[in-house]
A and B are shown apart, each in its own frame.
Chain A
Amino acid sequence: MTMTRFRLALRLCLWAVVALITMELCARVDDYVSHRAPLLEPYNIGRIYEFDDLGARGKPGASYLKWRLNSLGFRGPDLKDGGLRVVCLGSSETFGLYEAEGGEYPRRLERELNRSLGTDQVQVINIAYPGMSLSASLRRLPQVLSTVKPRYATIYPSLAAYIDLGALQPPKPGFRPPPPSPWEPRLKSRIETMVKQMLPESLQTQIRAWQIERAEKSSPVIDRLPEENVARFKEDVLKTVRVLQEHGVTPILMTHATLFGQSVEEEERPILIAWRKFYPHLREEGFLDMERRMNNAIRQVAEEQGVPFLDLAQRMPSGRTYFVEFVHFTDQGAATMAKLIAEFLSPMIRQRVAGTSTSTVEVHQRDRIPEMHPASNSRYASQPGIPRTAGFSH
């Protein structure tokens, strides 16, 4: 009897192993069919990064799920020769996480700008990566600017990256993270996502609150972000502006918008708890305070340096229509972002192009838009104060 039960248990174990192996195999074949992912190599977000002494950067030509990097390692298509280039600095909000492919705000911004200027020669280059702080972007910025040669740069930094100043330290020379194991189960993340989707939000919030409570035990909790962190952020914003200006790039500073807007509604509190899970040693109220103070820092830098400034924290609508969670955009949110930035940037581009063609100032190669569609050219030229071939002539 005992032997039979033992055999049965053994058999059930064997079946469980067979089922798990089959499902893991299915996950790998699924990744291959859907994304041309390798069957026997690790497959995670790490695929899009490579590392040097400056830290992480985009791996040229890499892809992971819907995210594809171009030959320079930036999200989006390859750069075309000529035209006017705008770079978008930022973090995961700018890189785009939840939007449909091509729906992240830099791609939409390119379409909006070209539409409003009646051309197809404006290129918007998304130089942001998930998890990248302004401090990390700054280290590589001169290199990027020399390669891309933009005329404008929008700066939409992730503020939460400054909660932990220790994480802003540059990597030690020669440091490379260990490569992930090719045998890391791909089924795991799928199961996690599925369970998360199935669990009611209230239960998810309970679990998060419990995780935060556990994390609170290991480090002291603060109500308010120290002044030192805000000062460091302001310093990095200022440095970024200066580096851009030194390279002849016009910076456009933008404040950071969140799902909450100016205050947290009661039904939005679970989202705030979800945000806090990533930084458990700052209390929930500290997040909105951090946003206010850091956005003020951006405003101050813009005012002190006379930098074009777009107050997205004020102008971006809040709520779930525009944000999937605390800071990342829905398709509609990304579209609104792109529209707001395009409305701000288009007149500046128009003015610059008009100014350069009517004066003897050298027209930069990167400012020239060599080909115009006849229809769009005439529409553009018909605007008051702009000569027919303003700035776009060879």
Chain B
Amino acid sequence: VTRVPKFSISRWVFAALVVAGAYAAYARVAGGLGGATNLNDGFPWGIWIGFDVLCGVGLATGGFTVATMAYVFNLRPYEPVVRPAVLTAFLGYLLEILAVLFDLGRPDRFWHALVMWNPRSPMFEVGWCVALSTIVLFLQFLPPVLERFGLDRSLRLARAVLVPLVVAGAVLSALHQWTLGSLYLIAPHKTHPLWYSLQLPLLFYVSAVCAGLAMTVFESCHSRKAFGIPLEVPLLARISRLLSAGLLVYAVIRIADLWHRGAWRLIRPSRPEAALFLAEMSLLLVPAALLLGPRWRRDPRWLHASSVMVILGFVAHRLNVSITAMQPMLSLRYVPKWTEVAVTLASVALGIAAFGFLVKRLPFYRHAGDLPTAR
């Protein structure tokens, strides 16, 4: 506790982001959505949905995936990254809920989504997935807290239900990604054919699994610098191998779908959409190909670089689906207002700060593990 905390971003940047975010939050409350955003009748959803919600929960998927590998597939080498990945996921979901409260026109009625049913609506299912996943993640997040405060009986209870929770979390996160992808199926007339696809639910799921794994690698690399956690290169290499396989599955679905629909013909050098598409795809394909090589996978710098590329490629895909794919199809334009960006950046900064705060005080790294290795 006496150690001077080292943040991966310097503290004054953090303070500036939080102040800007607080002002933007005030603008949202005082001036309504019109005062704080550039949203309009043609672009009812902006970066709070496109980035905070779609990308936030996608990057959180790593917590579900590595917990499943460690405790369901019984691959115990994954265990050291489970607790931090679950913490990332839990914080990611909390920040998503915060973003939704900013974005809803009537945040005071958010609970309607759970009470007033419409089973035909993907949004209804998204609401339930968010609520249930957050509860599951909260319970999975508890063991380090209970351990820290010496609540042994509660800890034993939490461990007894760990595997069912991990299974429930994995299924819920899959459904969450599936339904988030389904949201955009309703808008074929507004979404550019390079991104509109009936495979969006599946693509959202597979890409989220990849992004979650990349996020786990990324976070491990940064935790080493920030908190002095030793880097487990063999484990990260193993995760990256899985990541590479996931990316190849994604690429096959994505390319086969474009081919099948004939949409690949729209990839013409003169079009800005084509450039965005190619950038998005290369950010995912280059690491997929290179991570196949064992030599690349042993290099910590490359592990880090490839995780950054995958995260950027993933974010590019979701922003393209939710914002840029609609730009050429509509007469109206949308460029986020600075207050929108401020809320997004402040929530990312708060997430990183909360992660750092908790990791330094609770046993998320360097612990004995939550389940006995073999019985």
Task: Decide whether A and B are members of one complex.
Answer: no
